[in-house]
Protein backbone atom coordinates (compact mmCIF):
# COMPACT_ATOMS: atom_id res chain seq x y z
CA UNK A 1 0.00 0.00 0.00
CA UNK A 2 1.33 3.43 -0.93
CA UNK A 3 0.23 6.73 0.57
CA UNK A 4 0.69 10.15 -0.97
CA UNK A 5 1.33 12.85 1.59
CA UNK A 6 1.59 16.23 -0.07
CA UNK A 7 -0.10 19.61 -0.26
CA UNK A 8 -2.54 18.17 -2.81
CA UNK A 9 -2.59 15.83 -5.73
CA UNK A 10 -2.50 18.80 -8.08
CA UNK A 11 0.97 19.75 -6.80
CA UNK A 12 2.44 16.44 -7.91
CA UNK A 13 3.90 17.81 -11.12
CA UNK A 14 5.25 20.99 -9.47
CA UNK A 15 6.90 19.19 -6.58
CA UNK A 16 8.94 16.97 -8.85
CA UNK A 17 9.72 19.68 -11.43
CA UNK A 18 10.24 17.12 -14.21
CA UNK A 19 8.57 16.18 -17.47
CA UNK A 20 5.48 14.05 -16.86
CA UNK A 21 4.85 10.61 -18.34
CA UNK A 22 1.31 9.27 -18.30
CA UNK A 23 0.64 6.32 -16.04
CA UNK A 24 0.01 2.95 -17.67
CA UNK A 25 -3.58 2.42 -16.53
CA UNK A 26 -5.89 2.35 -19.58
CA UNK A 27 -9.19 1.34 -18.04
CA UNK A 28 -11.24 -1.68 -19.09
CA UNK A 29 -13.43 -2.10 -22.16
CA UNK A 30 -17.03 -1.05 -21.86
CA UNK A 31 -17.45 -1.46 -25.62
CA UNK A 32 -15.03 -2.53 -28.30
CA UNK A 33 -16.19 -1.79 -31.87
CA UNK A 34 -17.18 -4.86 -33.82
CA UNK A 35 -16.63 -3.14 -37.17
CA UNK A 36 -13.89 -0.84 -38.45
CA UNK A 37 -16.40 1.87 -39.43
CA UNK A 38 -18.28 1.85 -36.11
CA UNK A 39 -18.11 5.19 -34.25
CA UNK A 40 -18.50 5.37 -30.46
CA UNK A 41 -18.09 8.44 -28.20
CA UNK A 42 -19.95 10.46 -25.50
CA UNK A 43 -20.62 7.64 -23.02
CA UNK A 44 -22.98 7.98 -20.06
CA UNK A 45 -23.21 5.66 -17.03
CA UNK A 46 -25.83 5.56 -14.27
CA UNK A 47 -25.97 3.58 -11.00
CA UNK A 48 -29.51 2.48 -10.12
CA UNK A 49 -30.48 3.77 -6.67
CA UNK A 50 -34.27 3.38 -6.69
CA UNK A 51 -34.61 -0.13 -8.10
CA UNK A 52 -35.11 -2.22 -4.95
CA UNK A 53 -33.04 -5.40 -5.29
CA UNK A 54 -31.51 -3.94 -8.47
CA UNK A 55 -29.85 -1.10 -6.61
CA UNK A 56 -26.17 -0.80 -7.43
CA UNK A 57 -26.48 -2.08 -10.99
CA UNK A 58 -24.74 0.10 -13.58
CA UNK A 59 -26.24 0.94 -16.96
CA UNK A 60 -24.23 2.53 -19.77
CA UNK A 61 -24.76 3.78 -23.30
CA UNK A 62 -22.99 6.09 -25.76
CA UNK A 63 -23.19 7.78 -29.15
CA UNK A 64 -23.28 5.19 -31.87
CA UNK A 65 -23.28 5.21 -35.69
CA UNK A 66 -21.55 3.73 -38.73
CA UNK A 67 -19.35 5.88 -40.96
CA UNK A 68 -18.97 5.56 -44.71
CA UNK A 69 -15.22 5.08 -44.31
CA UNK A 70 -12.70 4.14 -41.61
CA UNK A 71 -10.82 7.43 -41.37
CA UNK A 72 -13.42 10.15 -40.75
CA UNK A 73 -16.48 9.42 -38.64
CA UNK A 74 -18.29 12.62 -39.62
CA UNK A 75 -20.19 11.01 -42.49
CA UNK A 76 -22.52 8.08 -41.71
CA UNK A 77 -23.26 5.44 -44.30
CA UNK A 78 -27.00 5.47 -43.59
CA UNK A 79 -27.16 2.18 -41.68
CA UNK A 80 -29.91 2.05 -39.07
CA UNK A 81 -28.36 2.39 -35.61
CA UNK A 82 -29.42 2.27 -31.97
CA UNK A 83 -28.39 3.09 -28.44
CA UNK A 84 -26.75 -0.05 -27.06
CA UNK A 85 -27.46 -0.38 -23.33
CA UNK A 86 -24.89 -2.34 -21.35
CA UNK A 87 -25.23 -3.44 -17.73
CA UNK A 88 -22.81 -4.36 -14.98
CA UNK A 89 -23.76 -6.13 -11.76
CA UNK A 90 -20.25 -6.16 -10.29
CA UNK A 91 -19.56 -2.45 -10.03
CA UNK A 92 -18.21 -2.06 -13.54
CA UNK A 93 -15.72 -4.91 -13.63
CA UNK A 94 -17.62 -6.74 -16.38
CA UNK A 95 -20.31 -5.65 -18.84
CA UNK A 96 -22.98 -7.39 -20.91
CA UNK A 97 -25.51 -6.03 -23.38
CA UNK A 98 -28.90 -5.65 -21.72
CA UNK A 99 -30.92 -4.31 -24.65
CA UNK A 100 -30.96 -1.79 -27.49
CA UNK A 101 -33.35 1.03 -28.39
CA UNK A 102 -34.15 2.08 -31.96
CA UNK A 103 -35.77 4.93 -33.85
CA UNK A 104 -39.32 3.67 -34.41
CA UNK A 105 -40.44 6.78 -36.27
CA UNK A 106 -41.25 6.86 -39.98
CA UNK A 107 -40.99 9.54 -42.63
CA UNK A 108 -38.12 11.52 -44.19
CA UNK A 109 -34.82 10.93 -42.38
CA UNK A 110 -36.10 7.99 -40.31
CA UNK A 111 -34.83 5.73 -38.98
CA UNK A 112 -32.02 8.12 -38.14
CA UNK A 113 -28.41 7.22 -38.92
CA UNK A 114 -26.94 9.09 -35.94
CA UNK A 115 -27.81 8.35 -32.31
CA UNK A 116 -26.05 11.19 -30.49
CA UNK A 117 -25.70 12.68 -27.00
CA UNK A 118 -27.53 10.19 -24.76
CA UNK A 119 -28.44 10.85 -21.15
CA UNK A 120 -29.97 8.61 -18.46
CA UNK A 121 -32.14 9.86 -15.60
CA UNK A 122 -33.68 7.85 -12.75
CA UNK A 123 -36.68 9.30 -10.87
CA UNK A 124 -35.78 9.59 -7.15
CA UNK A 125 -39.49 10.00 -6.33
CA UNK A 126 -42.80 9.96 -8.15
CA UNK A 127 -43.08 12.62 -10.86
CA UNK A 128 -46.47 13.00 -12.53
CA UNK A 129 -47.89 9.53 -13.09
CA UNK A 130 -44.49 7.82 -12.94
CA UNK A 131 -43.22 6.11 -9.83
CA UNK A 132 -39.87 6.26 -8.12
CA UNK A 133 -37.31 4.27 -10.10
CA UNK A 134 -38.69 5.16 -13.52
CA UNK A 135 -35.88 5.64 -16.03
CA UNK A 136 -35.66 8.05 -18.93
CA UNK A 137 -33.18 7.81 -21.78
CA UNK A 138 -32.98 10.88 -23.99
CA UNK A 139 -30.89 11.30 -27.12
CA UNK A 140 -30.39 13.50 -30.14
CA UNK A 141 -31.50 11.77 -33.35
CA UNK A 142 -29.92 13.14 -36.53
CA UNK A 143 -30.47 11.80 -40.07
CA UNK A 144 -27.80 11.06 -42.65
CA UNK A 145 -28.11 14.47 -44.32
CA UNK A 146 -28.28 16.37 -40.98
CA UNK A 147 -31.49 18.07 -42.12
CA UNK A 148 -32.84 18.11 -38.55
CA UNK A 149 -31.92 17.49 -34.93
CA UNK A 150 -34.50 15.94 -32.62
CA UNK A 151 -34.51 15.18 -28.90
CA UNK A 152 -36.27 11.86 -28.38
CA UNK A 153 -37.18 10.07 -25.13
CA UNK A 154 -37.57 6.41 -24.20
CA UNK A 155 -39.02 5.39 -20.81
CA UNK A 156 -38.41 2.24 -18.75
CA UNK A 157 -40.58 1.17 -15.83
CA UNK A 158 -38.67 -2.06 -15.18
CA UNK A 159 -35.24 -0.61 -14.38
CA UNK A 160 -33.86 -0.69 -17.90
CA UNK A 161 -34.91 -4.11 -19.19
CA UNK A 162 -37.48 -2.73 -21.64
CA UNK A 163 -37.91 0.76 -23.07
CA UNK A 164 -41.03 2.35 -24.54
CA UNK A 165 -40.75 5.28 -26.96
CA UNK A 166 -42.21 8.48 -25.53
CA UNK A 167 -41.54 10.69 -28.55
CA UNK A 168 -39.73 13.79 -29.72
CA UNK A 169 -39.97 16.85 -27.45
CA UNK A 170 -37.63 19.42 -29.02
CA UNK A 171 -37.00 19.90 -32.73
CA UNK A 172 -34.07 21.73 -34.28
CA UNK A 173 -32.74 22.41 -37.73
CA UNK A 174 -29.51 21.42 -39.40
CA UNK A 175 -26.01 21.76 -37.92
CA UNK A 176 -26.06 25.58 -37.86
CA UNK A 177 -29.57 25.79 -36.43
CA UNK A 178 -29.70 22.69 -34.29
CA UNK A 179 -30.21 21.60 -30.70
CA UNK A 180 -27.56 19.63 -28.84
CA UNK A 181 -26.45 17.88 -25.64
CA UNK A 182 -29.56 17.46 -23.43
CA UNK A 183 -28.90 17.11 -19.70
CA UNK A 184 -31.66 16.22 -17.18
CA UNK A 185 -31.88 17.12 -13.49
CA UNK A 186 -34.45 18.14 -10.87
CA UNK A 187 -34.97 21.73 -9.74
CA UNK A 188 -35.51 22.71 -6.11
CA UNK A 189 -39.26 22.05 -6.42
CA UNK A 190 -38.69 18.53 -7.74
CA UNK A 191 -39.67 19.30 -11.33
CA UNK A 192 -37.72 17.77 -14.22
CA UNK A 193 -35.43 20.20 -16.06
CA UNK A 194 -33.67 19.71 -19.40
CA UNK A 195 -30.71 21.98 -20.15
CA UNK A 196 -29.28 22.00 -23.67
CA UNK A 197 -27.45 23.96 -26.37
CA UNK A 198 -29.58 25.87 -28.86
CA UNK A 199 -28.62 27.33 -32.28
CA UNK A 200 -32.17 28.18 -33.35
CA UNK A 201 -31.61 31.95 -32.82
CA UNK A 202 -28.31 31.98 -34.71
CA UNK A 203 -28.88 35.45 -36.22
CA UNK A 204 -28.39 37.01 -32.77
CA UNK A 205 -26.80 34.11 -30.86
CA UNK A 206 -24.64 31.62 -32.76
CA UNK A 207 -25.41 29.28 -29.86
CA UNK A 208 -26.80 29.72 -26.38
CA UNK A 209 -27.77 27.55 -23.43
CA UNK A 210 -31.45 27.16 -22.60
CA UNK A 211 -33.67 25.00 -20.43
CA UNK A 212 -37.22 23.67 -20.34
CA UNK A 213 -39.22 22.29 -17.39
CA UNK A 214 -41.61 19.33 -17.15
CA UNK A 215 -44.04 18.78 -14.26
CA UNK A 216 -45.39 15.45 -15.54
CA UNK A 217 -42.28 13.30 -15.83
CA UNK A 218 -41.33 14.31 -19.36
CA UNK A 219 -44.66 13.88 -21.15
CA UNK A 220 -44.90 17.62 -21.80
CA UNK A 221 -42.42 20.48 -21.52
CA UNK A 222 -42.72 24.21 -20.89
CA UNK A 223 -41.39 27.16 -22.83
CA UNK A 224 -37.72 27.53 -23.70
CA UNK A 225 -35.91 29.80 -21.19
CA UNK A 226 -32.44 31.23 -21.78
CA UNK A 227 -29.70 30.13 -19.39
CA UNK A 228 -26.50 31.54 -20.93
CA UNK A 229 -26.80 33.97 -23.87
CA UNK A 230 -23.88 36.24 -24.78
CA UNK A 231 -24.27 39.75 -26.21
CA UNK A 232 -21.60 38.75 -28.74
CA UNK A 233 -23.28 36.91 -31.61
CA UNK A 234 -20.27 34.65 -32.31
CA UNK A 235 -19.97 33.32 -28.73
CA UNK A 236 -21.05 29.71 -28.41
CA UNK A 237 -21.78 28.51 -24.85
CA UNK A 238 -22.52 24.81 -25.03
CA UNK A 239 -22.46 21.29 -23.53
CA UNK A 240 -24.07 22.06 -20.13
CA UNK A 241 -23.92 19.76 -17.12
CA UNK A 242 -25.36 20.57 -13.69
CA UNK A 243 -24.47 19.51 -10.14
CA UNK A 244 -26.58 20.05 -7.01
CA UNK A 245 -24.29 20.91 -4.09
CA UNK A 246 -25.02 20.24 -0.43
CA UNK A 247 -25.54 23.96 0.29
CA UNK A 248 -28.64 23.84 -1.92
CA UNK A 249 -27.07 25.70 -4.85
CA UNK A 250 -26.85 24.38 -8.39
CA UNK A 251 -23.64 24.71 -10.40
CA UNK A 252 -23.67 24.57 -14.19
CA UNK A 253 -20.48 23.86 -16.15
CA UNK A 254 -20.24 24.56 -19.89
CA UNK A 255 -17.78 25.42 -22.62
CA UNK A 256 -17.70 28.77 -24.40
CA UNK A 257 -16.44 28.53 -27.95
CA UNK A 258 -16.40 31.28 -30.53
CA UNK A 259 -13.48 33.47 -29.53
CA UNK A 260 -11.33 30.36 -29.11
CA UNK A 261 -12.92 27.50 -31.07
CA UNK A 262 -9.98 25.16 -30.42
CA UNK A 263 -9.76 25.39 -26.64
CA UNK A 264 -13.35 26.40 -25.72
CA UNK A 265 -12.61 27.48 -22.11
CA UNK A 266 -14.96 25.95 -19.54
CA UNK A 267 -16.99 28.29 -17.35
CA UNK A 268 -19.26 27.77 -14.35
CA UNK A 269 -22.05 29.70 -12.69
CA UNK A 270 -24.62 29.05 -9.98
CA UNK A 271 -28.37 29.11 -9.42
CA UNK A 272 -30.31 29.09 -6.14
CA UNK A 273 -33.07 26.84 -7.46
CA UNK A 274 -31.89 25.21 -10.70
CA UNK A 275 -34.01 27.39 -13.00
CA UNK A 276 -32.92 30.97 -12.18
CA UNK A 277 -29.63 31.54 -14.00
CA UNK A 278 -29.27 35.19 -15.18
CA UNK A 279 -28.70 34.49 -18.86
CA UNK A 280 -26.47 37.56 -19.40
CA UNK A 281 -23.91 36.22 -16.91
CA UNK A 282 -21.29 34.21 -18.83
CA UNK A 283 -19.86 32.76 -15.60
CA UNK A 284 -16.31 32.26 -14.41
CA UNK A 285 -13.55 30.31 -16.14
CA UNK A 286 -12.25 27.14 -14.48
CA UNK A 287 -8.58 27.92 -13.75
CA UNK A 288 -6.29 26.03 -11.37
CA UNK A 289 -3.91 27.56 -8.84
CA UNK A 290 -0.96 26.31 -10.87
CA UNK A 291 -1.97 28.00 -14.11
CA UNK A 292 -4.02 25.38 -15.93
CA UNK A 293 -7.44 25.97 -17.43
CA UNK A 294 -10.08 23.46 -18.45
CA UNK A 295 -11.21 23.32 -22.07
CA UNK A 296 -14.31 21.93 -23.82
CA UNK A 297 -17.00 19.30 -23.17
CA UNK A 298 -17.13 19.37 -19.35
CA UNK A 299 -18.86 16.97 -17.00
CA UNK A 300 -19.34 18.05 -13.39
CA UNK A 301 -20.58 16.27 -10.26
CA UNK A 302 -20.80 17.00 -6.54
CA UNK A 303 -18.83 14.59 -4.34
CA UNK A 304 -20.82 14.61 -1.08
CA UNK A 305 -18.36 12.34 0.73
CA UNK A 306 -15.53 14.86 0.36
CA UNK A 307 -17.64 18.01 -0.06
CA UNK A 308 -16.04 18.96 -3.34
CA UNK A 309 -16.96 19.74 -6.91
CA UNK A 310 -15.34 17.59 -9.56
CA UNK A 311 -15.14 18.62 -13.21
CA UNK A 312 -13.75 16.52 -16.06
CA UNK A 313 -12.84 18.45 -19.25
CA UNK A 314 -11.84 17.21 -22.67
CA UNK A 315 -8.51 19.00 -22.40
CA UNK A 316 -6.22 21.09 -20.20
CA UNK A 317 -4.29 24.18 -21.33
CA UNK A 318 -1.57 26.44 -19.96
CA UNK A 319 -2.99 29.84 -18.94
CA UNK A 320 0.16 31.66 -20.09
CA UNK A 321 1.03 29.94 -23.38
CA UNK A 322 -2.36 28.43 -24.35
CA UNK A 323 -0.44 25.22 -25.10
CA UNK A 324 -1.66 21.77 -24.12
CA UNK A 325 -0.24 20.71 -20.78
CA UNK A 326 1.46 17.33 -20.14
CA UNK A 327 -1.57 16.05 -18.23
CA UNK A 328 -4.02 17.09 -20.99
CA UNK A 329 -6.87 14.65 -21.60
CA UNK A 330 -6.54 13.11 -18.15
CA UNK A 331 -7.23 15.85 -15.61
CA UNK A 332 -10.10 16.23 -13.16
CA UNK A 333 -10.55 19.68 -11.63
CA UNK A 334 -11.47 20.08 -7.97
CA UNK A 335 -13.11 22.93 -6.05
CA UNK A 336 -13.88 22.82 -2.33
CA UNK A 337 -15.48 26.29 -2.13
CA UNK A 338 -18.77 25.61 -3.91
CA UNK A 339 -17.41 26.76 -7.26
CA UNK A 340 -15.83 29.98 -6.01
CA UNK A 341 -12.14 30.84 -6.39
CA UNK A 342 -9.31 28.84 -7.87
CA UNK A 343 -9.51 25.15 -8.68
CA UNK A 344 -6.94 22.39 -8.23
CA UNK A 345 -6.57 19.27 -10.37
CA UNK A 346 -5.83 15.59 -9.98
CA UNK A 347 -5.13 12.81 -12.48
CA UNK A 348 -8.18 11.09 -13.90
CA UNK A 349 -8.52 7.45 -12.81
CA UNK A 350 -6.96 6.18 -16.05
CA UNK A 351 -5.30 7.56 -19.17
CA UNK A 352 -7.02 7.62 -22.56
CA UNK A 353 -4.96 6.82 -25.64
CA UNK A 354 -5.01 9.30 -28.49
CA UNK A 355 -2.82 7.20 -30.77
CA UNK A 356 -5.41 7.27 -33.56
CA UNK A 357 -6.21 10.61 -35.19
CA UNK A 358 -9.58 9.14 -36.23
CA UNK A 359 -10.64 8.89 -32.56
CA UNK A 360 -11.63 12.02 -30.64
CA UNK A 361 -10.22 10.62 -27.39
CA UNK A 362 -11.62 11.88 -24.08
CA UNK A 363 -14.37 13.88 -25.80
CA UNK A 364 -17.14 14.55 -23.26
CA UNK A 365 -15.82 12.24 -20.52
CA UNK A 366 -18.28 11.01 -17.91
CA UNK A 367 -17.87 10.73 -14.14
CA UNK A 368 -20.01 8.66 -11.80
CA UNK A 369 -19.60 9.04 -8.04
CA UNK A 370 -19.37 5.68 -6.31
CA UNK A 371 -18.38 5.98 -2.62
CA UNK A 372 -15.70 7.56 -0.43
CA UNK A 373 -14.44 9.85 -3.18
CA UNK A 374 -14.10 7.05 -5.73
CA UNK A 375 -15.05 8.07 -9.26
CA UNK A 376 -15.86 5.86 -12.23
CA UNK A 377 -14.43 7.62 -15.27
CA UNK A 378 -15.69 6.62 -18.73
CA UNK A 379 -14.42 8.03 -22.01
CA UNK A 380 -13.71 7.30 -25.69
CA UNK A 381 -10.16 6.16 -26.36
CA UNK A 382 -8.07 4.86 -29.24
CA UNK A 383 -7.86 1.08 -29.38
CA UNK A 384 -4.83 1.16 -31.66
CA UNK A 385 -2.74 3.44 -33.89
CA UNK A 386 -5.64 3.80 -36.36
CA UNK A 387 -9.41 3.51 -36.36
CA UNK A 388 -12.34 4.94 -34.46
CA UNK A 389 -12.86 5.00 -30.70
CA UNK A 390 -13.56 2.25 -28.24
CA UNK A 391 -15.21 3.09 -24.91
CA UNK A 392 -13.28 2.32 -21.72
CA UNK A 393 -14.02 2.81 -18.06
CA UNK A 394 -12.26 2.59 -14.70
CA UNK A 395 -12.40 4.01 -11.21
CA UNK A 396 -10.12 5.45 -8.54
CA UNK A 397 -10.24 8.06 -5.75
CA UNK A 398 -10.05 11.69 -6.89
CA UNK A 399 -8.59 14.50 -4.81
CA UNK A 400 -9.03 12.73 -1.47
CA UNK A 401 -6.13 12.97 0.98
CA UNK A 402 -4.45 11.00 2.37
CA UNK A 403 -4.51 9.04 -0.88
CA UNK A 404 -3.82 5.31 -0.74
CA UNK A 405 -3.44 3.09 -3.78
CA UNK A 406 -3.06 -0.65 -4.08
CA UNK A 407 -0.65 -0.81 -7.02
CA UNK A 408 -0.52 -4.60 -6.98
CA UNK A 409 -4.27 -4.80 -7.63
CA UNK A 410 -4.95 -1.67 -9.65
CA UNK A 411 -1.71 -0.67 -11.34
CA UNK A 412 -1.30 3.08 -11.64
CA UNK A 413 -4.97 4.00 -11.90
CA UNK A 414 -5.44 7.52 -10.61
CA UNK A 415 -1.74 8.44 -10.77
CA UNK A 416 0.61 10.22 -13.12
CA UNK A 417 3.99 8.52 -13.42
CA UNK A 418 6.70 11.18 -13.06
CA UNK A 419 9.44 8.80 -14.15
CA UNK A 420 11.58 9.58 -11.11
CA UNK A 421 11.82 8.96 -7.40
CA UNK A 422 9.86 11.22 -5.07
CA UNK A 423 11.16 14.74 -4.56
CA UNK A 424 10.12 18.01 -2.99
CA UNK A 425 6.85 17.65 -1.11
CA UNK A 426 6.11 14.21 -2.58
CA UNK A 427 6.36 11.43 0.00
CA UNK A 428 5.71 7.73 -0.56
CA UNK A 429 5.21 5.31 2.24
CA UNK A 430 5.02 1.53 2.11
CA UNK A 431 2.23 0.50 4.49
CA UNK A 432 2.11 -3.17 3.47
pLDDT attached to residue 431: 37
pLDDT of 312 higher than 80: yes
pLDDT of 424 higher than 70: no
As a whole-number percent, the residues of the chain with pLDDT over 90 amount to 74
Segment 313-352, tens digit of pLDDT: 999 999 999 999 988 888 999 999 999 998 999 989 888 9
Q: Is the pTM of this model over 0.95?
A: no
pLDDT of 257 higher than 70: yes
Q: What is the mean pLDDT of residues 354-378?
A: 90
pLDDT attached to residue 398: 83
pLDDT attached to residue 360: 93
Confidence band, pLDDT 50/70/90 cuts, at residue 125: very high
As a whole-number percent, the residues of the chain with pLDDT over 70 amount to 86
pLDDT of 426 higher than 60: no
pLDDT of 414 higher than 80: no
pLDDT of 15 higher than 50: no
Q: Which residue has the higher pLDDT, 16 or 115?
A: 115
Mean confidence (pLDDT) of the chain: 88
Q: What is the mean pLDDT of residues 365-380?
A: 89
pLDDT of 8 higher than 50: no
Segment 241-252, tens digit of pLDDT: 999 999 999 999
What is the 3-state secondary structure of the chain?
CEEECCCCHHHHHHHHCCCCEECCCCCEEEECCCCCCEEEEEEEEEECCCCHHHCCCEEEEEEEEEECCCCCCCCECCCCCEEEEEEECCCCCCCEEEEEEECCCCCCCCCCCEEEEEEEEECCCCECCECCCCEEEEEEEECCCCCCEEEEEEEECCCCCCCEEEEEEEEECCCCCCEEEEEEEECCCCCEEEEEEECCCCCCCCCEEEEEEECCCCCCCCCCEEEECCCCCCCEEEEEEEEECCCCCEEEEEEEECCCCCCCEEEEEEECCCCCCCCCCCCEECEECCCEEEECCCEEEEECCCCEEEEECCEEEECCCCCECCCCCCEEEEECCCCCCCEEEEECCCCCCCCCCCCCCCCCCEEEECCCCEEEEEEEEECCCCCCEEEEEEEEECCCCCEEECHHHHCCCCCEECCCCCCCCCCEEECC
pLDDT attached to residue 226: 98
pLDDT of 427 higher than 80: no
Q: What is the mean pLDDT of residues 230-249?
A: 97
Q: What is the mean pLDDT of residues 263-284?
A: 97
pLDDT attached to residue 2: 33
Amino acid sequence: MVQLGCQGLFTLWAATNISLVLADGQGSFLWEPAYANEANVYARVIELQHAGPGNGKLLATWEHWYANNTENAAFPNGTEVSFIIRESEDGGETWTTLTTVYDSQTGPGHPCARFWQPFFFEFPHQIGNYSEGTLLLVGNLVPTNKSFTSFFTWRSTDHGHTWNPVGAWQEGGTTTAGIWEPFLYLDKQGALVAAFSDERSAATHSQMLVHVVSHDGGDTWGDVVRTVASDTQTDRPGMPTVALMDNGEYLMAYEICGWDPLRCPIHVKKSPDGITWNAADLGTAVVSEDGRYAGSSPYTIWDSSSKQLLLAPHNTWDITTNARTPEAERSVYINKQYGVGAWSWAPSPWAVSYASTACNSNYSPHMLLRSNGTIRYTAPTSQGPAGFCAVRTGQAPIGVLPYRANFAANGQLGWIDTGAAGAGSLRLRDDK
